Each structure stands twice: as structure tokens, then as C-alpha cells.
A and B are shown apart, each in its own frame.
Chain A
Amino acid sequence: MKHRSVPGEVTPVDRIGIVLVGAGFIADAHSGAIDANPRATLIGIVDADPARAAAFARKQGGIRHAPDLDSALQWPGVDAVILCTPNDTHAPLGQAVAAAGKHLLVEKPLATTVTDAQRLAAAFDQAGRVLVAAHTHRFYDYGRAVKQTIESGAIGRPVLVRLAILGGWIWPDWSAWVGDPARSGGHALHNGVHLLDLATWWLGGEPTSVYARGRKQAAAELRIYDYLEMVVTYADGATAVCEMSRAHRPGSLSQRELLVAGTEGIVEQGWDGESSLVFGESGTTTLPAAGGNGFAAQLGAWLDTIGGAPPAMPAADAVRAVALGVAVEESIATGQPVAVAA
């Protein structure tokens, strides 16, 4: 492992030096995971907004900061990059990381087109570096528990996944890049891929077709679908019904429901499966259990893979998630099922 250092600090040689790119809200989750992991150290932050980069750097105790990735890739001690920028930048910035010979953890989706996703995966394969897309739900407690239950054989062969992640509008205003399909790829690429990947990982099957319906519920003028219903059919006849919503009311709703049916049983977690209820003066709300830190688990798995372990989130699966997301958007546009290449 290369020696890494931050000015004024002595860093253990076995730590992976990481640069965060994009100082938006999700960067805090990643930096928190880095802070909690003795195998990683945060070298610096990159953001196109210099003031935002500087503020983030100060908050982290005075780490390096820069307005561009190219500069940061030259910093000493940098082994890896976590990319938290708008989705349409993942492909070009990811290619720069591969060209610099660094490892990459990129926020989902891997890219906004299948071609870009495939090229990115190929670039890291050729560079001999680890590429992981942040399909964080694989690392959440519930995601892992369902996978373990299926792999234990307790419910036989899974034939149906029902997965719903429901909430109200979370993005700020009309200028939010996630609301611009040219930047986000659409909601199927932005958030839908979480469910498409998770359901496919649970089922362990090969998707063959996608049928989807989308809705612009919060406002007719939306350019993305704030409610998505995505139905995937698999080669073995299994079905996944995935709902992704930022359209529900009340806006405070935050609800997840899952059902997996197999040839020998079922696994369920309803809306009350991990939450308590608060009956308050302003209404009734759920109180989620504390649980584990999915971002920390994800970071740990990425570091494991950098160290030689098999990938917990293979790049090929991230490419597949992009293909499914693209198929969802196409199915909504055409109103027809879309075949997914095996």
C-alpha cells in the first residue's frame, strides 16, 4: 500500500486515502463512514463550488479542498475516490478516476446510460481497480437480513418480491438537478435502481423484461416521475414489483414494505416492521429503530474488495441496474413491456 499523508498529520500506511467529490448532503453520510473506519482516511474534498468545498473541509478539521477532480487526483496519499456528484457526471468523472489508477465508490446510478455504465466498468477492469456503485440498500440491515434468509433456504426458491419505499417530496425546488431528467437520468435511474438492484440481488435471477408505470403526482409540470411502479420478470418466472415514491401524502410519510414469497414460505416486513409509533399532539408518526449504519457497511465492503475480497456489489450488477432503470423509463414512455438483454 502506498504511503499517504495529509499536511500536518501522520497517517498510518495501511489506511486507504479517500477523496470525496461533491459536497452535497450525501457526502456527510460517506464522510461519517470514513471517520468511523480505521482502515480509511479522508484526504480531501472536491466541489465545483469553492466556498462549499472550503466549508466542508473546515468541518472535517481542515482537510484539503479543490474545485476540480484533476487537482485532487494529484494529491499525495490518494488511493480512492467517492463520487457524490450529479448522475450525468458519473461517467466522465469516473473515467478520470480510472485513468488515474484510483479505486472508485460512485453514488448510484453507475451512469445514466447503459453504454456509459459498460464503458466505466470496462475501464476499471482494465485498470485493475475496484469500482463499486453505492447501492446502499444491499448493506442496510433489512437488505442483508432478507438476503440471508433467502440464502438459508428457509423459504425455498423465491418467486415474488414486493418492495415499496414510499415518501413525500424531498427535493428543494425547481432548480434541483434530480428533477432534470437530462442530469439525473430520470427517477428510475436516480432512486429506482436501488429497488431494481435489491430485488434482483434477493431473487438471484436473470431479468428478462420490465413493465413500468410512472406518475407525476406532486405537480403536473414535473419532468420526472415522483411515483414509479416497476415490475421485473425473470428468466425463471419470478416477478418483482418495486414501488419508489416521493409522491405520497402526508409529506412526512416514510414507509418501507417488503414481501418475498418462495416455494416454501414467505418473508415479510410491513410498515411497522422496524418502527415504533409516536402518538403525538401533531399526529401519529413512526419512530424508526436505530439499527446499523449501511454507509459504514458499504465502505467496509469496498475496502475489503480493494484488499482482495470478492465484491459485495460487483460492477456488472451496477451495469445491470442501469439497464433496468433505462428499461423502466422506456416502458413508461411507450406503455409497453421492454425486453432486457440477458
Chain B
Amino acid sequence: MISVALVGNGGIGSQDHQNTMYRPAFERHPSFELVDDEDKAEVVSVALPLAERGAAIAAAIRAGKHVLADKPMAATLAEAEEIERLAATHSVVVVPAHHQRFGAALRSATAAVRAGRVGLPWNVQCDFIVAGGDPAPTGELVNFGLYPVDVVSALLGLEVRRVHATGSPELVTLLLDHEHGVTSTIVCGRIPALRDLPPGGLAVHRYRISGSHGVLAVDATKPALRVRTTTANGPVWTGPGTVDALLDVLAAGISNGHAALGPRDAVRTQRVIEAAQRSIAVGQPVAIGAPVETGE
């Protein structure tokens, strides 16, 4: 069993992902056990307010701990890059909580795209729209934006070269230019609560991957049952949850020394989010330079 200490129960705004997401997932996972003493833990699960998060993760890495990092992993690109560097130096596993890429439909989709099922992909369209819950005081680009950006990154495996963004703090549209002339568009944000959806639930979460030889349409709110009763109407998710799958990745990473999701993914998404913020500020597309190779 891998020992885990929970550090922090804050986030952006009123978020407490530690107690609503990570604690129950650790408690039910067969590879982990929760401990109270952080010094004795092999893993720390860091869900501190965003302003404190990066420094706490860096300190944990320096102490030789593996880390599950609430999203976003750090408040700035510079912080994220420092965490990536430190993790490589100290040979620990740092897994940012980009758990949406582990939805069952998206795992299949990623495998299918990477196996050429639609030929060479040339465009991805994505809607990631949450209904209800507490609006993020940072705006939803910082809060949610990394999820679909990370999924698109996983689907394509291509770096983003240019970002244009438009919209409002609640609902933003990102237009990404990737390597090889591939483009993607992500609509991301929060709308008011909708009937029969739990507050903060995903009202729309879908991807369309267009390729040289086909189209893949993914409804990432599935696999789910459709349950209708005299008092309610809604989906019931089937199979393992995305956070459970995230912990599988963490456990496997600790076991073999390298996780399938790491700080480089957080750096990659943070770079896009910050470029989108600059694009909104200047009203123009913003170029992203070639990423620095770190050997991670």
C-alpha cells in the first residue's frame, strides 16, 4: 500500500476537491492508504488555494514525495516549469489532476485516433460546458480550460503553435493552431444550473475529430445509462470514474518510475491558457514558441 497524506482543502473560489474528489478516491483505491503524518507519507495530495499550491508542491518534491496536484498544478507557467524541472531532478512522480482525459469514451477515442482510425486528424472540435456550481472568481478559462486543452493534447499528441481566444469570463472560445496545420476549437465554461443536472455537472462534453479518412464523434458524458423516473431524468455514469483512473496512473507511475501524465502536461496546458489570456487581452492570435526540452 502506498501511503498518502492530504494537504489542503482549498482551491479556486469555494472549491474543495480534496474532500469531494481525491479523499474518497484514495479511500476506495486498493493501492493507497491515507495517513495523517505528512512526513511519513510517500505521496502528498495537494489541494491548496492556487496562490499557495505551486510552492507547496515544490517543497514536497524537494522532500522526496510523489505528488497528486489539484488542477491547475500551478498558478503560472514559470511555477509549472519549475515543478517539472524539480520532479525530474528528484526522480519523483508528479501527476496533475487532468482526470477528464481518462473518461472511458476519451480513452477509447485517443487510442483510435492514435491508431489512425480516422486517418490523419486535421481538426478537433470540443465543447466543455458545465452547468451550475460556483463560478470561479478567476474566470472559467483558468478553472476549466485546461481540461479540454489537455484532452485535445492527448488526442492529437501535437504541440500548440498559436492561440486565439474570444468570449467572456464565463464562456470562452479557444482556437488553437497545432503542428502540421492541424486546428482545434474549444468552447469552455459555465452556464446556469440546468434541471436534472447536479450543480457543477457537465451539460455538454463532446469532441469531433475530423481526419483524412473519417470522423470520430465522441460524447464524453458517456458511457452512461439514461434513467427516467417519476421525479427525475438524467444520466448515470457507468464504469470507473475519471478520478479513480487518475489514481491508477499515479499508482502505476510510482511503481515503474514514470507516470503516463506528468508535469510536462501541466506545463503544456498552462502555456496554452496563458496564451489565451494574452489573446483575449490584445484581441489578436498569440504565437507559442517551441517548447523547451527538459528530458522529462
List residues of chain A with CB under 8 Å of any chain B CB: 156, 159-160, 162, 164, 166, 209, 211, 213, 215, 217, 227, 229, 231, 233, 237, 239, 241, 243, 245, 247-250, 253, 255, 257, 259, 261-266, 268, 271, 335-337
What are 18 A-B interface contacts by the 8 Å CB criterion? A160-B167, A162-B127, A162-B187, A164-B125, A211-B164, A211-B166, A211-B175, A213-B175, A217-B212, A227-B123, A227-B210, A229-B175, A237-B167, A248-B210, A249-B211, A253-B215, A263-B192, A265-B191
B45 within 8 A of A: no
Which of the listed residues A164, A209, A211, A257 has the most CB atoms from chain B within 10 Å of its own CB? Answer: A211
By a CB distance below 8 angstroms, the chain B residues around A264 are 192
Q: Is B203 among interface residues, defined by CB-CB distance under 8 A?
A: yes
Knowing A160-B187, A248-B210, A336-B284, the reply to whether A241 touches B204 (Cβ < 8 A) is no
Q: Which residues of B contact A250 (CB under 8 A)?
A: 214
A266 near B203: Cβ-Cβ < 8 Å: yes
Q: How far is the CB of A223 from chain B (nearest CB, A)?
A: 18
Alpha-carbon distance between A215 and B183 when the two chains are bound, in angstroms: 10
Report A-chain residues with C-beta under 8 Å of the C-beta of B213.
249
A204 to B125 CA separation, bound complex (whole angstroms)? 25
The interface size of chain B toward A, counting residues with CB under 8 Å, comes to 35
A239 to B167, CA, bound (A): 6
Ordered nearest first, which 4 A-B pairs have the shortest CB separation?
A: A239-B167, A233-B166, A237-B168, A239-B173
Q: How far is the CA of A249 from the CA of B170 in the complex (A)?
A: 34
Check: B64 CB closer than 8 A to any chain A CB: no
B204 touches A268 (CB 8 A): yes
Contacts A265-B194, A266-B194; is A159 near B168 (CB within 8 Å)?
Answer: yes
CB–CB A261/B171 < 8 A: yes
Q: A164-B125, A335-B285, A337-B164 are in contact. Are A231 and B183 (CB under 8 A)?
A: no
In the complex, what's the smallest C-beta–C-beta distance from A77 to chain B, in angstroms?
Answer: 49
A156 surroundings in chain B (CB, below 8 A): 192
A249: contacting residue among B175, B203, B214, CB under 8 A? B214
Q: Is the CB of A248 within 8 A of B171?
A: no
Q: Mark B122-151, 1 if CB is under 8 A from A, else 0.
A: 110101010000000000000000000000
Q: In whole angstroms, how far apart are the Cα atoms of A224 and B183 in the complex?
A: 18
Within 8 Å CB of B283, what residues of A?
Answer: 209, 337
Chain A residues with CB under 8 A of B175: 211, 213, 229, 231
Q: CB-nearest residue of chain B relative to A164?
A: B125
Q: Could you say which residues of chain A place their CB within 8 Å of the CB of B123?
A: 215, 227, 229
Instruction: Using CB atoms, name the residue of chain B closest to A215.
Output: B122
Q: How far is the CA of A217 from the CA of B122 in the complex (A)?
A: 9
User: Once bound together, how far apart are the Cα atoms of A274 and B284, in whole Å?
Assistant: 38
A residues within 8 A CB of B199? Answer: none
A229–B214 CB distance below 8 A: no
Distance in angstroms from B214 CB to nearest chain A CB is 6
With both chains docked as a complex, state the minimum distance between the C-beta of B236 and any C-beta of chain A, in angstroms: 20
Which single residue of chain B is at the shortest CB-CB distance from A262?
Answer: B191
Q: Hey, which chain A residues are within 8 Å of B191, CB to CB?
A: 261-263, 265-266
CA of A259 to CA of B203, assembled, Å? 11
Closest CB-CB distance, A205 to chain B, in whole Å?
Answer: 13
Tell me how far the C-beta of B279 lies from the nearest C-beta in chain A, rounded to whole angstroms. Answer: 10
Residue of B nearest to A214 (CB): B183
Asked if B215 and A249 make an inter-chain contact with CB atoms under 8 angstroms apart, the answer reads yes
B164 pairs with A241, CB closer than 8 A:
no
Asked whether B185 is an interface residue with its Cβ less than 8 Å from the other chain, the reply is: yes
Produce 1/0 per residue, B158-171, CB < 8 A to A.
00000010111011
- State how many angstroms separate the Cβ of B59 from the closest Cβ of chain A: 41
Q: Does B119 contact A (CB under 8 A)?
A: yes
What are the residues of chain A within 8 A of B187 when measuring CB–CB? 160, 162, 241
B111 is an interface residue with CB less than 8 A from chain A: no
Give the residues in chain A near B112, CB-CB below 8 Å: none
